Structures are given as structure tokens and as C-alpha cells.
Amino acid sequence: MNINLLRKISIALFILLLAACSPKPEFKNIDITGSTAFGKDFSLLDPDGKVRTLADFKGKVVVMFFGYTQCPDICPTTLTEMQQVMTLLGPHSDKVQVLFVTVDPDRDTAAILKQYVPSFDSRFLGLRPADEAALEKVSKDFKIYYKKVPGTSPGSYTMDHTAGSYAFDPEGRLRLYIKHAQGPETLAHDLKELLK
């Protein structure tokens, strides 16, 4: 047998063995790795008016959450939980980017997002759609629900919205659907898996 062919076969077998030995991550959240039906990318404005896409955060795990700043419960709870996750991750937290995407761009101006979102952690970034069509597109792309619920006056409405988050790995692949309010330890575990 040709020595070069034998060498190539040996290398191929070695690579296959390495791949087989690499343990599959055991996520505590919903593993949606390989899904092509949604969540491929986004085009949203940061508080400085710069268009942001997933490519801007390559090399980091991205946690993306949809909400609004006047939310009385789910949104501040999620942002507080993410703040605790960042503490648990320690120095690894610099490789995580939390994105808060508003579903209420009428009230969540750039100035409000710039103040509110980083008040939980200075590294957190608030994003907003440029207009209603952009909000509809990103909500459809990520299969999130939102609906304005009238209040006692025109400006006192609330927003019903999806409570879960998404996580992308450092290569920009959608990997996890994160359930709401499960505790920071669970999420920190999954983000550590994505950072491996």
C-alpha cells in the first residue's frame, strides 16, 4: 500500500476519533442548534444611531432579548438575571454580549435605551428598529410575539411580548432558546458551554 495513502487514512481516522471524543454540550435550555427557520441575523440601530448586525459581535456569545423599558416585571427581571450571570462568568463575561431589543420603539427612544439598558451592566446594549416595518421584520425573523395592550390613557399602554431569549455562539450561529426566569446559575452554565 502506498505510504502516503496510509498516512492520509491514519490522519482521517485520528480526526474522526477526536470528533467522536468531543462531548456534545449538555445545555439546560432548549438546544436549537442547526435551526435554519429563523434567527439568522438582524439589522437594528444602537443608541448612537449606528446600524448593528450579528457580525458586529463575532467572537462573542450573544444573548438577545426582546422587551421594553416600561415593562413592570419580565424585562427588569431578565436584565437583572443577566447581570448576575455576568458576575458568575467572571472574566469570561467579557466574551458575552447582551442585546436588549425594544418592541416599543415609540416610547423607547435612543436616549432612553442608552440610559436604561446599561444601568444593569455597562456592557449591555439596547437596540431599536428604525421603523414599524423593521420591528415587524425582526419579530418575524425571530418568531417573537408582541402586542400593544391599551391602558387608561394613550401613553399608558403595556406590551405583551415573548419572554424568552436567544443565544448565539461566538461564530454567530443560533444555538439556544433561553427560557425565562430559571436562575442565573443555569444560564451561566449554558453560556460557559458556548464559550468552550
Per the annotation, binding residues for Cu cation are 71, 75, 161
Q: Are 195 and 92 in contact (CB under 8 A)?
A: yes
Give percent helix, percent strand, percent coil of the chain, each to the nearest 5: 40, 20, 40
User: How deeply is 34 buried, as exposed, middle or buried, from its count of CB atoms within 10 A (0-12, 13-18, 19+)?
Assistant: exposed
How far apart, in Å, are the Cα atoms of 7 and each of 1, 2, 14, 16, 20? Answer: 10, 9, 11, 14, 20
Binding-site members are: 71, 75, 161
Longest dimension (CA), the chain: 84
User: Cell triple for residue 141?
Assistant: 425573523
Please provide residue 102's backbone torsions phi and psi, each rounded to the nearest 5 degrees. -75, 140
